[in-house]
Structure 1
């Protein structure tokens, strides 16, 4: 008997306790994965090389295998906290100490992608999404046409806001009361006083925007001049759209069919411009002042109706908006990053992508909740969350450590007893050696 077996057992038990202690220490670390010490026995080869001795010479640490089981998901109040429910890793990258020229420069990455399950992300001063280790989250940016970029790149939120969009079209869906009395003259004569409600039947208003995002109030006045004929006048910020202030002209004349339905449908209705020409699609052009000159807007009157019920506007929308600042973000289960702006607009700005590995236990742990790919893990397979075998994302949530404290405490007791037993074998071997030394 030698001291080798007991000494190797002490080393193995000590390393097992180290692994257990590390698991317990990271029980509260989001995205951390527990590890397991795996051991193998050792045998010495015989002198003539014909085989190994039947008596082992101890134990050795074969591997420390991490267990990539799913951790519990807990909700938070931060929309940038992300949890993966299922397989996959976030892809992040280290930023070099020299980020480039100025605070708004694109960060320079060290070229090696890292992988993590910890979804504690924040926005840095440049608008990039990063974690506590200053590693930026990677994904595909989405351009103004809704197309994602071809390569992985740091995700940056539009902290500068969104540019204004000039109004180009207005959809006006309404019903005028067929029972209403005529308030305007028939024929080509135009007579309306915008300050006198008795000179028109109804009015409604919509806000439009010029190329600089300045808002203008366009008001539409509806004046019945015959059984099925209505004239539509307009003002922008109080100024007449067609004609002069002293003699306003209609921007359109609507001749409803006798059925009262849409003027562009079959049945004899029509929409006429100020010059008397017919518009087959019901879309009339108007001109409003712009910051750099007159601004053309198309007003769609094709869904107007004249039925025997009260006047009502069922849809009044336009496609422009003023400038807006970033007020919030959200990330859906498929990894699409949405930005919300103060002008009520929202836009898709990025698409997250997860990575999986054929052998995740082959990943090399780097600390800071990050792993790197190795030959043993294989190359990553990338896809959007929720596609294939990828897990889905949950925004405003984090994945807790998968460490089972109860099991770890039991393992700790077992490892402690194993350490004591191996120490006892060394003590016994020492006593045997002492007996031999004392023999006479």
Structure 2
């Protein structure tokens, strides 16, 4: 009996030594959980054999139980190193076999899958192309392809328009046109033009005799508050297809007395003659057919002289003087001249104060803000919103109104070149309607994306004529139409400010980095400033964690005793959170294990002593004979 008792003790102490040695060996193994040997005593007993003073038969190892307590979390330099802070296990796919682990030393294999050091793939919840997470579980994979561009279909603008702003009084005044009919000749006469300002001051310029319209424009433009432009237009009514068809046709064009060569080779009618003029070196001249006659226009007001002939007739030279258009600012109260040419044209005109919008003149709008939007190819474009305060509608009590002009890359959109959108606010500064729409939405359906040269760039353009554009724009979009939402715009008595401005488009981007959130979501960062969810790490828990069976490589597998896994998202239910760039260290306490090692050694020695003593007694009995 003593031999068996001592032998069972040796076996138990040996197991204890093995368990302790295994713990010490894995003291630095990431995700390792320490074990301890659990023992039970042995008694021989039967139906009628149990005595009042039974003697034990020794000891046996009942179980090797692991301690699944939390290990310390330490930081690393690898962004895909993950630690679980709390309960749960990583779910790993080992060639179809599902394993569970607390060791989060992960990387990426050649195919982009997130794997551990044994190439077991990490399981997680998949994300679609737009980064929306689903409940579908599979192998986590990092897509290194470029992020495809997304066109802008929605732009939300939240601004405050300063209610204290005044309705702008523009600098635009009445126009005065002076042309050949007024001067009665082929040039402007000598004339002293004087401008009087609202403060009583004056300024004068001298127009020399024989000046052309273009020269007059340059001279008048020297006066403050005065701008001038000129065009020269001549319609050659005596020239038609029949005149050209006679043969020997020739056409001569002069600007300010300088001959401009026009190649009439191949000219057979007015249309081909107009093309020849347009292809000449006169960059300021254009020719077109209007009402069956040839019209020649110089957009700078240069004096045009034409001569044309065939084998039978020569017409000309004919000289046409340009028309000067004069425009003044509000500060100008009068214009006079010593000969009356410009003074007469100005007489009888009354000063007109309007609010004429000009995107190039900051004095014609109260506020403006710009944001970048994107076409279907991912090309950026600048959308600018201009806000102009209007006179209050009705009697001005309880409501106010602003006009909204829109431009993309300097070109009007939304039809605002013809009619701006009207935003109305109530007495509380809350937006009521935009063009009667209480939702505050503006649908832009006339935008054609263009390249820097002004030509269409190949991206999707406006929807077909007659097509109905609904909001929000359905996915996938098929045109350049987008919605500008102004529902949060206010009109308070404070300075103009852009509170928020967001749009849903972006250009293409390359993968630049990865981030992992506390919820285990893998975010890809791209060079275009976007980030997109690629998936979410899945965690599993068990009703009886102690029932898991260790299979090496710091992994466990499900058993009947553990129960089936409960798989969910980190941070939900009893599952812990994820710490990125971190690993969970072994929960082995070396000090405790070294003490256990001493105890196991003493136990082994003591059981060996039991066998030795029993052997001595047995030998004494044998020696009695």
1:120 — aligned with what?
A: 105
- 1:18-51: CA deviation from partner (whole Å, max 9, x where unpaired): 10011111122222111111233445689xx964
How far apart, CA to CA, are the structure 2 residues paired with 1:153 and 1:183? 65
- 1:210-253: CA deviation from partner (whole Å, max 9, x where unpaired): 1121111122333456466644333322334367xxxx815624
- Is 1:163 paired with 2:331? no
Q: Which moved more, 1:342-351 or 1:21-30?
A: 342-351
Alignment CA distance shift 1:304-1:409 (3 Å) = closer
How far apart, CA to CA, are the structure 2 residues paired with 1:60 and 1:170? 74
1:353 — aligned with what?
A: 538
Alignment CA distance shift 1:234-1:190 (3 Å) = farther
SS at match of 1:84: strand
Deviation at 1:355, TM superposition (A): 2.2
Deviation at 1:201, TM superposition (A): 3.9
Q: Which moved more, 1:286-295 or 1:363-372?
A: 286-295
How far apart, CA to CA, are the structure 2 residues paired with 1:225 and 1:11? 98
Matches within 5 A, 1:174-189: 174=159, 175-176=161-162, 178-179=165-166, 181-183=168-170
- 1:349-392: CA deviation from partner (whole Å, max 9, x where unpaired): 43443322232222111111100111222222333334333334
SS at match of 2:448: strand
Larger Rg: 2
Alignment CA distance shift 1:184-1:168 (3 Å) = farther
Q: If the length of structure 1 is used for normalisation, what is the TM-score?
A: 0.79
Is residue 231–residue 250 contact of structure 1 (8 Å, CA) maintained in 2? Answer: no
How far apart, CA to CA, are the structure 2 residues paired with 1:159 and 1:251? 47
- Is 1:146 paired with 2:132? yes
- Is 1:284 paired with 2:442? yes
Matches within 5 A, 1:202-281: 202-224=367-389, 226=391, 230-241=402-413, 249=417, 252-254=420-422, 256=424, 259=427, 261-262=429-430, 264-265=431-432, 271-272=434-435, 278-281=436-439
SS at match of 1:414: helix
How far apart, CA to CA, are the structure 2 residues paired with 1:173 and 1:250? 25
RMSD over aligned Cα, in angstroms? 3.5
Is residue 13–residue 604 contact of structure 2 (8 Å, CA) maintained in 1? Answer: yes
Q: Which moved more, 1:208-217 or 1:339-348?
A: 339-348
Alignment CA distance shift 1:185-1:411 (3 Å) = same
Alignment CA distance shift 1:253-1:436 (3 Å) = closer
Alignment CA distance shift 1:242-1:145 (3 Å) = closer
Is residue 168–residue 355 contact of structure 2 (8 Å, CA) maintained in 1? Answer: no
1:68 — aligned with what?
A: 68
Which segments of 5 or more consecutive residues in structure 2 lack a partner in the other structure? 174-351, 393-399, 450-458, 463-479
Matches within 5 A, 1:48-67: 51=49, 54-67=54-67
How far apart, CA to CA, are the structure 1 residues paired with 2:487 and 2:60? 83
Alignment CA distance shift 1:32-1:202 (3 Å) = same
- 1:56-94: CA deviation from partner (whole Å, max 9, x where unpaired): 444333321112223233344544333333332221111
Deviation at 1:301, TM superposition (A): 3.8
Is residue 92–residue 135 contact of structure 1 (8 Å, CA) maintained in 2? Answer: yes
Is residue 3–residue 426 contact of structure 1 (8 Å, CA) maintained in 2? Answer: yes
- Is 1:363 paired with 2:548? yes
Deviation at 1:173, TM superposition (A): 3.1
Aligned pairs, how many? Answer: 407
How far apart, CA to CA, are the structure 1 residues paired with 2:518 and 2:403? 50
Is residue 325–residue 342 contact of structure 1 (8 Å, CA) maintained in 2? Answer: yes
Q: Which moved more, 1:72-81 or 1:408-417?
A: 72-81
Which segments of 5 or more consecutive residues in structure 1 lack a partner in the other structure? 96-109, 273-277
